[in-house]
Chains A and B, each alone.
Chain A
Amino acid sequence: MIENQQRSYSKSKRIKNILKDVFTNPYNIIVFISLVFLTYLIIVPLISMITSTFQVAQGELRRIPGSQVGDFTLYYWQRLLASEFSMSTLYKPLLNSLLIGVCVSVFSITLGSGLAWFMVRTDLPFKKFFSFAVIIPYMIPSWCKSMAWLTVFRNERVGGSAGFLSGIGINTPDWLAYGPFAIICVLTVHYYAYSYLLTSSALRSINSELEEMGEIQGAGKATILRKITLPLVMPAILSSVILTFSKSIGTFGVPAFLGMKINYYTISTMLYSNIKQQNTSLGFAISIILITIAAMTVYINQKIIGTRKSYETIGGKGGRSTPLRLGKWRGLFTALITAFIGLAVIMPIAILFLETFLKKTGDYSLSNFTLHYWIGASDPAIAEGEAGVLRNARFWTNVKNTMILVVVTSVIATIIGQILGYISSRGRKKVSGKLIEQLVFIPYLIPSIAFSAIYLSMFSTRHGIVPALYGSMALMVVVSVVKHIPFASRAGTSNMIQIGTELEEAANIEGASFMKRMLKVVLPLSKGGFISGLMLIFISIMKELDLIILIITPKLATLPYMAFQYSNNNNNQMSDVVAVIMFSIVLVIYLITNKVSGADISSSM
């Protein structure tokens, strides 16, 4: 009987079964949907971006005689890569960007992982306060920090009111006030939070017995750190290299604020400037170069991490952790970290806050203090008659817009992130998992400004069933969701990895369908990680400006945009007021979530 069955092998049955399996397997279905989704929102924009760098645009008809709009051309690439302008439009800004990228990466990783080590591994006092304080910079937009920087270091070269130091008679040299040094300092303070979050969660997962074993073998603290701890957190450190490096070469705000005044261009400010000047094709070509560089770092990084990646799961079970005693160094390190937090965390906020009360910046006399910028009625003698922020009719609309955007986006992005995280954690050995893991990283590499420019053109027209979203909140949500997918799916992956596959298999054996497994097993178990991931995205979107600046409309203005508008009209104090309000919203929501759910954003990195 069995022999007979064995021979009744039928090709058509086989095909039928395979197809049935592929199309009824819910895993395949979500992979398929995700791939369609990612292709449409990531690959298509990328290709249309590349395509447009080979097409003549209206403005270039002047430069390319006899051509027509839409003709194939190598003009943009030739101009960018091999013309007399290449040096100033590409190579020099590129070098500047690389310098900034490398320095910021080195400094912020040293700083971030150093702090992480102190917070997780040592008996540093006031840890609770410190570990909260060090993530505050993640909650403040970077342009706030550059404003704070200028408030302190602004010198008389630029004229106008003096900075704080100039005000008290210390004239700051140009290199301190503007340019690479300033940019690197501000960006380091801005980005160290990434490596702090990544490294501290890696450190927390290392069983301290591994270190204690080293101690028993007679190794000193420094040797243990170097030979045991560091190699174990290396994967985390290397992935923060990617995050920091690609972020710092792609960021626009800080280099624009602190660099463009002295004609110091980075590739991102060059890109911004071109897009603003409607040299969109050239701008896109620059973005493609930027993407290529970032992709190369990722590639090199993956080569370096290689097999080491497996470390990440080893420590998974965590276990006991005995803090290392700092002994006589305790006082010194406490002082140093306090000083750092004072300078890099509290001071920028304090300056920002203080400035909102100054009628004229730079004058700290009591008579100059005012609440006008907060609640003042329109007074023609101040700020061209702009009423205080809280009296601005648009303020509450903007708060509402911001909250809608932030809440909707972070919820959607987190859900998608969890799904993608599920795929890549369950499909680690499968092509699908690897493919998705690579795909979701792309939006991270595309500079925000280029990203929104391409979305602007993609969604201004109806594409099949997708209506023209331009000018609607939906487009802002879509852009923000896609741009934050790398983070969201990272949070999703680290969340899903914690849920053992056996828990699902056990339910599978009990006969639970895919949906049932998701609802009854995966979802309840991923709640904590879900909220942590949500917070991570929430904070990030709250500050978002570069990304939505091109697609925002007055009715849809958000708080960061409002701050930007104020600052554009030179109403710095009002811009500060908005920034302070934004920061307060983030802080309050973070604290409440933290209290209520114990969410920990570092667990999502």
Chain B
Amino acid sequence: MLKKNIVAMGLIFMLVTSLAGCGGKDKNTKTSDSSNDSIKQEMSDEDAETLYQQAIKEGGKLNVYSISSRMPKAAESFMEKYPEIKVEVYDLKQNEVLEKISREYKADIHTCDVAHLKDEDGSVWNEYVKNNILKIYYPKDICENIDSSYLETGMPLYTEMYFWYYNTEVYDKAPIDSWWDLTREEWRGKLITRNPQDDSTYMALFTNLWLASDELEASYKEEFGEDLVLSKGCKNAAEEFMYRFCNNDLIYAASSDEICEAVGTKGQDSAPIGLAASSKMRKVESDGYVMNTIENIKPFIGNLQINYLYTVDKSEHESAAKLFVRWLMGEKDGKGKGFEPFNTLGGWALRKDVETLEGNTPLTDINYVRYKADEVYNAYVNVEDFWISLQK
């Protein structure tokens, strides 16, 4: 009887492994080893009217997968301007958008025309754009107004950042000014963040610190006046920082909203400080939170969280998609209504000809690091593994 079972299990194993071995080699995918052949930025100079006429010919429809609940507002104004095109917006989560697009792409279904995504860990660039599933549409007249460094891996709609927030009732000024402050005993049990394991945005932020380990080491010396001594298992200053930070009794929240609620609720005696999306500054007004962002941290605040727009390969409504991208970007002069829903507190336009909203610290005054899609993408797994290894 036992023998029979073993034989059966062996057979199943063989079946599975052979299936695994021969099945599913996807011809559409390229390995990221060939990452050096970066996508050429081809500027397009079709004007809006031509695109509109073509879009009508293509059926007058458009499907948008977006990670923002503000996208429907932009779609509404778009449909006012271009009434012949019906826009359908799917408001989803980042991983859901990607999951949907890749599954549909494999199934040869081409529902999505425009995708609105973030790419802080470089995976969209490396796994989707380089494999030609997502495409970047660069309208020439608009791109002329954007710093070319933002254009490298996508069409940037706007950017956010992740800030440390503090409660303005409990603290009269920013209580920290260096990442190393977060490793101090006084913040034990008073730091609230998402668990980086559950949210790649946070892991990407640590990856950026990891890539700038030297700067982090320098700022340690600046902060404590002595050289950093690495603990066992830590290979550089960033890992040492993560090790100490992680062991400072972190509180994990489920979302940026929850973090801001914990930090910003009125009437607390002792409130934690929390790392959350810059867009949550809106909560000060809408929910009456008493909180502020900490905008000066050494060596830098973090990375830009650029929201990119992509068109999708084999899209059936290519012209409408291009027209919609233009609309979201504020059209030729940057004054179109499409951008309005995204021009909010905690969000920065990357067009030089669109002014930063009042209340936002100008981007030029913020000490952030540039987004390096390939480096972050490749370092990401090391940081992730290191973080997981810290979980005892």
Contact = CB atoms under 8 A, between A and B. Distances in A.
Q: Do chains A and B touch in the complex (CB under 8 A)?
A: yes
B106 A460 contact: yes
A380 B286 CA distance: 6
Nearest to B289: A160
A51 B23 contact: yes
A461 B271 contact: no
B283 to A, nearest CB: 8
B388 to A, nearest CB: 5
A68 B265 contact: no
Interface string A89-114: 10010000000000000000000000
A260 B268 CA distance: 24
B197 A273 contact: yes
Interface string B162-193: 00000000000000000000000000010010
Contacts of A460: 103-104, 106-107, 109
B262 A160 contact: yes
Contact of A62 (B90, B272, B377): B377
B16 interface: yes
A31 B294 CA distance: 67
Interface string B67-103: 0010000000000000000000111100110111001
Contacts of B197: 273, 277
Contacts of A502: none
Interface string B350-392: 0000000000000000000000000001101100010011011
B218 interface: no
A260 B389 contact: no
Nearest to B272: A159
Contacts of A69: 24-26, 29, 31
B90 A273 contact: no
Given A68-B31, A88-B388, A51 B19 contact: yes
A159 B189 CA distance: 11
A157 B189 CA distance: 7
Nearest to B250: A263
B331 to A, nearest CB: 26
A461 B104 CA distance: 8
A262 B31 CA distance: 38
A260 B252 CA distance: 7
Contacts of B214: none
Given A156-B270, A260-B254, A276 B16 contact: no
A461 B131 CA distance: 20
Given A47-B16, A84-B389, A278-B98, A381 B286 contact: yes
B222 interface: no
A85 B99 contact: no
A48 to B, nearest CB: 8
B258 interface: yes
Nearest to B26: A69
A384 B32 CA distance: 42
B257 A570 contact: yes
A156 B170 CA distance: 14
A158 B16 contact: no
Interface in A155-176: 156-161
Contact of A59 (B16, B23, B127, B288): B127
Given A159-B271, A570-B258, A554 B91 contact: yes
B91 A85 contact: no
A58 B125 CA distance: 12
Contact of B95 (A71, A278, A470): A278
A471 interface: yes
Contacts of B17: 54, 72
Given A88-B391, A277-B95, A70 B31 contact: no
Contact of B127 (A58, A158, A554): A58
A290 B272 CA distance: 36
Contacts of B296: none
Nearest to B262: A159
Contacts of B392: 87-88
Contacts of A89: 388
A568 B92 CA distance: 12
Interface residues of A, number: 63
Contacts of B37: none
Contacts of A58: 29, 127, 131
B2 interface: no
A356 B291 CA distance: 26
Interface-centre pick from A158, A161, A385, A471 (highest chain B CB count, 10 A): A158
B255 interface: yes
A422 to B, nearest CB: 29
B21 interface: yes
A468 B104 CA distance: 9
A61 B378 CA distance: 10
Interface string B106-142: 1111010000000000010001000100000000000
Interface-centre pick from A85, A262, A468, A570 (highest chain B CB count, 10 A): A570
A199 B340 CA distance: 61
A263 B107 contact: no
Given A55-B23, A276-B95, A278-B98, A159 B192 contact: yes
A554 B90 CA distance: 6
A70 B286 contact: no
Contacts of B255: 568, 570
Contacts of B215: none
A54 B107 contact: no
B29 A72 contact: no
Nearest to B390: A88
Contacts of A53: 20
A88 B381 CA distance: 16
Nearest to A570: B257
A88 B389 contact: yes
A462 B91 CA distance: 25
Interface string A129-163: 00000000000000000000000000011111100
B265 A70 contact: no
Interface in B262-306: 262-263, 265, 268-272, 274, 282-283, 285-288
B58 interface: no
A403 interface: no
A569 interface: yes
9 contacts: A51-B16, A54-B16, A62-B32, A156-B268, A159-B262, A159-B265, A160-B261, A471-B100, A553-B90
Given A72-B21, A158-B253, 12 more contacts: A51-B16, A54-B16, A58-B131, A69-B24, A70-B23, A88-B391, A159-B272, A261-B254, A277-B95, A460-B103, A554-B92, A570-B261
Q: Which 8 A-B pairs have the closest CB atoms?
A: A54-B20, A159-B262, A570-B257, A72-B21, A461-B107, A88-B391, A460-B103, A70-B25
